[in-house]
């Protein structure tokens, strides 16, 4: 939304448009002690969380008139909030699982044990689940992926700078403290923490980098379950899939062959005792939040939120429990949220905007001077095949097989994981459900799904300050419209463009057009590589490329769509409102959605792990590449907000 009170007129908009548009907001909104960053997205997230809290507290009150879903979300929330019972139980709820791990006597027993641990949400060694076949988007097969790390991503284990070395030491100390809380003597816990770090380092070194993982070609290694079984000479895939109730034969994807070769060697040469230690840690790690006593909860927060990301205070319990329910059974809660906060008229307005921006992209493709007519035809075929999913699912998820028991927080978490694990594997071999959502209706986010060629905008995002029927089109298109364009552009970014209109990983570009695309994209890689987010840490232009392309392309599409709408409505482009012309309101609304305060620790983590650039650069760097922005504010060609050589793809 456009808010003139946030503007700092002491800043030249041609010098730093982010500060010009956001300084008022930044001065009013210091980072809360329980946050590592705070921005407009957090504003809406916290408002939505308040709405969800009310829904959950109402559902938590025992009543014979509660629906089945109300019973589940209410009793799960009450269980999560019941810290007295959680503290009293201690780690007793995990004792059967700890005993199961302690009972591992031979490596031949590992596959069945690992399948069980995966089913209850323990990220040990690797991951297995369902996904669409890259070569045939109509087919759902099993995917085996690298995993098993306790630090945010693999380079935390390999970087040699002083800060990274310190973080690994802090991680080992954290692992040790959790093991002590679980009953280990301190000396043994310290040794076990070293074992965990050594094994995870070995797994990390064999894993793809987060930048390499962005290329679907690097993750596409189709094979047969039987062939995979033969490759893992020291780990019985047959025993694993039998215990997991996964396909014992048929097509699958070994996403990282190098990783699984190392995993096979690790199983062979690692003593069983060390494997038990590693599994024990990952079980405790998986449940050491709201399901275990305060000592575990506090220690986990201290390392991951405070040490790594700079939070000064742990979030209130109700906030964490509300977020937990949203993750576990979010569609059950989402039905109530949608009924209260997303009327049919809002859905229609959102769809109208989406269709207008898709129409603008069609015109943009026609106008591209670097793309051949042959590729343009394919691009428009893909564009016209995009499926728009707005607000919430047409068919709500069925939770009838999930049991929630009041007073059993750890058990509820365990059964929730088992429900989701079984639901996910149950999709293998069945028709693709293109109506399924990956995020819940109250979520403040959106996404593009390349294998289904659809855009997904949940109800929780189409709310103020990002979207309002009370706002003019200039503000709505500059703000929410740029997000719609962003997600649509993901279908044509460096990753999404590799999938055809049907969602198959298939090259539909001419060689010459591909080269031109890559050259233009490389301009943005270099542009963002040059940005130093915190002293000594630059952004990773290749990691952030897809999001940067979508930011720039999405804003451009929103601009084109808004110009069409303004022309049709005969908007006077010289008239001012709050002192600004319509086009200026468009750009300011875009910038003001990114007003954000970020702690230095969080900024370091973001620069190293997040495919999204920090919000200041999602504003200034994008606008520097659009001469239309500079024209709106009469910026000279030499101004900081006017790139000497603008980068553009779409």
| pLDDT cut 70: percent of the chain above it | 100
**CATH fold group of domain 91-291:** Neutral endopeptidase; domain 2 (1.10.1380)
For the segment 1-33, what is each residue's pLDDT rounded down to a tens digit? 899 999 999 999 999 999 999 999 999 999 999
CATH number, span 4-30+350-386+469-632: 3.40.390.10
As a whole number of angstroms, the distance between CA 111 and CA 46 comes to 42
Distance CA 60, CA 74 (A): 4
Strand-pairing partners, residue 129, are 143
Dist. CA 378–CA 355, nearest whole Å: 19
> Structure tokens of 310?
């700079």
Residues 6+ apart with CB under 8 A from 462: 342, 346, 349, 350, 390, 391, 480
Sheet of strand 447-449, all strands in order from the earlier edge strand to the far edge: 387-391, 454-458, 447-449
Residues 42-80: tens digit of each pLDDT: 999 999 999 999 999 999 999 999 999 999 999 999 999
Reading the block at residue 14, the tokens are 């041609």
| CA neighbor of 473 nearest in space, from 353, 553, 594 | 353
At 469 the pLDDT is: 85
Residue 236: per-residue pLDDT: 98
Quote the pLDDT of residue 328.
Answer: 96
Kind and range of the H or E run holding 279: helix 272-287
**Which of 523, 537, 542, 483 has its CA nearest to residue 621?**
523
Q: In this predicted structure, what is the pLDDT of residue 131? A: 98
State the number of CA atoms in the 13 A half-sphere of 569 facing the CB.
13
| Phi, psi (deg, nearest 5) at residue 448 | -110, 135
- Residues 456-493 as b or e (16 or more Cβ within 10 Å = b): bbbbbbbbebbbbeebbbbbbbbbbbbbbbbbbbbbbb
- Helix (H) / strand (E) element for 537: namely strand 537-538
Any idea what DSSP says for residue 120?
T
Q: Tell me, what's the pLDDT at 260?
A: 98
Those residues of the chain that have pLDDT short of 50 are none
For residue 470, what pLDDT is reported?
Answer: 84
Q: Among candidates 554, 501, 522, which has minimal Cα distance to 645?
A: 522
Q: What is the pLDDT of residue 192?
A: 98
Local structure of 600: helix, strand or coil: helix
CA–CA dist 251, 435 (Å, integer): 24
What are the beta bridge partners of residue 458? Answer: 391
How deeply is 110 buried, as exposed, middle or buried, from its count of CB atoms within 10 A (0-12, 13-18, 19+)? Answer: buried
Closest CA to 334 of 395, 291, 409, 415: 395
Task: Give residues with Cβ within 8 angstroms of 174, minimum separation 6.
Answer: 299, 302, 303, 307
Tell me, yes or no, if the two domains 4-30+350-386+469-632 and 91-291 fold the same way.
Answer: no
b/e map 319-357, b = 16+ CB within 10 Å: bbbbbbbbebbbbbbbbbbbeebbeeebbebbeebbebb
Q: How far does the chain reach from its first CA to its final CA, in angstroms?
A: 25
In angstroms, the Cα distances linking 281 to 199, 359, 364 are: 12, 52, 52
Q: How many Å apart are CA 90 and CA 410, to the nearest integer?
A: 10
The residue ranges of every structural domain in the chain are 4-30+350-386+469-632, 91-291
């Amino acid at each position: 939304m456009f808010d003139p009170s946030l503007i700092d007129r002491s800043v030249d908009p041609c010098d730093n448009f982010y500060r010009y548009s956001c300084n008022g907001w930044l001065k009013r909104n210091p980072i809360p002690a329980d946050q590592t960053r705070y921005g407009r997205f957090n504003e809406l997230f916290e408002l939505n969380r308040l709405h969800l809290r009310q829904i959950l507290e109402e559902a938590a009150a025992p009543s014979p008139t509660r629906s089945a879903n109300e019973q589940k979300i209410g009793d799960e929330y009450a269980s999560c909030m019941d810290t007295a019972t959680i503290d009293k139980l201690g780690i007793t709820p995990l004792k059967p699982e700890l005993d199961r791990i302690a009972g591992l006597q031979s490596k031949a027993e590992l596959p069945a044990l690992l399948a069980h641990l995966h089913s209850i949400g323990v990220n040990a060694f690797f991951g297995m689940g369902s996904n669409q076949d890259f070569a045939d988007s109509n087919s759902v097969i099993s995917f085996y992926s690298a995993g098993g790390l306790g630090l945010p991503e693999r380079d935390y284990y390999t970087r040699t700078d002083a800060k990274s070395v310190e973080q690994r030491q802090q991680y080992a100390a954290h692992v040790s403290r959790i093991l002590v809380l679980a009953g280990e003597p301190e000396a043994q816990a310290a040794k076990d923490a070293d074992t965990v770090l050594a094994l995870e380092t070995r797994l990390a070194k064999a894993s793809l980098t987060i930048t390499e993982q962005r290329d679907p070609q690097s993750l596409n290694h189709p094979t047969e379950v039987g062939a995979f079984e033969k490759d893992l000479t020291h780990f019985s895939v047959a025993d694993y899939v039998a215990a997991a109730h996964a396909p014992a034969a048929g097509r699958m994807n070994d996403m990282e062959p190098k990783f699984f070769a190392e995993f096979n060697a690790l199983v062979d040469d690692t003593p069983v005792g060390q494997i038990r230690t590693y599994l024990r840690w990952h079980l405790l790690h998986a449940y050491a939040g709201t399901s275990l006593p305060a000592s575990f909860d506090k220690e986990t927060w201290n390392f991951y939120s405070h040490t790594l990301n700079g939070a000064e205070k742990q979030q209130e319990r109700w906030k964490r429990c509300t977020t937990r329910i949203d993750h576990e059974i979010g569609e059950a809660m989402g039905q109530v949220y949608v009924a209260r906060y997303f009327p049919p008229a809002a859905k229609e307005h959102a769809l109208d905007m989406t269709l207008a921006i898709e129409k603008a992209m069609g015109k943009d493709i026609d106008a591209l001077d670097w793309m051949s007519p042959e590729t343009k035809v394919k691009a428009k075929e893909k564009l016209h095949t995009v499926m728009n999913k707005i607000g919430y699912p047409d068919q709500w998820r069925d939770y009838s097989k999930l049991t929630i028991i009041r007073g059993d927080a750890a058990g509820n978490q365990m059964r929730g994981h088992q429900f989701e694990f079984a639901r996910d594997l149950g999709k293998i071999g069945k028709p693709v459900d293109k109506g399924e959502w990956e995020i819940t209706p109250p979520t403040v986010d959106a996404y593009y799904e390349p294998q289904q060629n659809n855009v997904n905008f949940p109800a929780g995002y189409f709310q103020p300050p990002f979207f309002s029927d009370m706002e003019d089109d200039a503000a709505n298109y500059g703000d929410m419209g740029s997000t719609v364009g962003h997600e649509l552009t993901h279908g044509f970014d460096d990753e999404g463009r590799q999938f055809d209109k049907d969602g198959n990983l298939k090259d539909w570009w001419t060689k010459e057009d591909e080269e031109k695309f890559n050259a233009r994209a490389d301009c943005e890689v270099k542009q963002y590589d040059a940005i130093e987010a915190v002293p000594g840490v630059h952004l990773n232009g290749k990691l952030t490329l897809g999001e940067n392309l979508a930011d720039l392309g999405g804003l451009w599409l929103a601009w084109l769509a808004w110009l069409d709408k303004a022309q049709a409505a005969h908007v006077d482009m010289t008239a001012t409102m709050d002192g600004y012309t319509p086009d200026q309101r468009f750009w300011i609304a875009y910038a003001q959605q990114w007003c954000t305060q970020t702690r230095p620790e969080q900024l370091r983590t973001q620069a190293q792990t997040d495919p999204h650039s920090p919000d200041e650069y999602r504003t200034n760097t994008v606008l520097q590449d659009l001469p239309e922005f500079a024209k709106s504010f009469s910026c000279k060609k030499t101004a900081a907000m006017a790139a000497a050589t603008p980068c553009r793809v779409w």
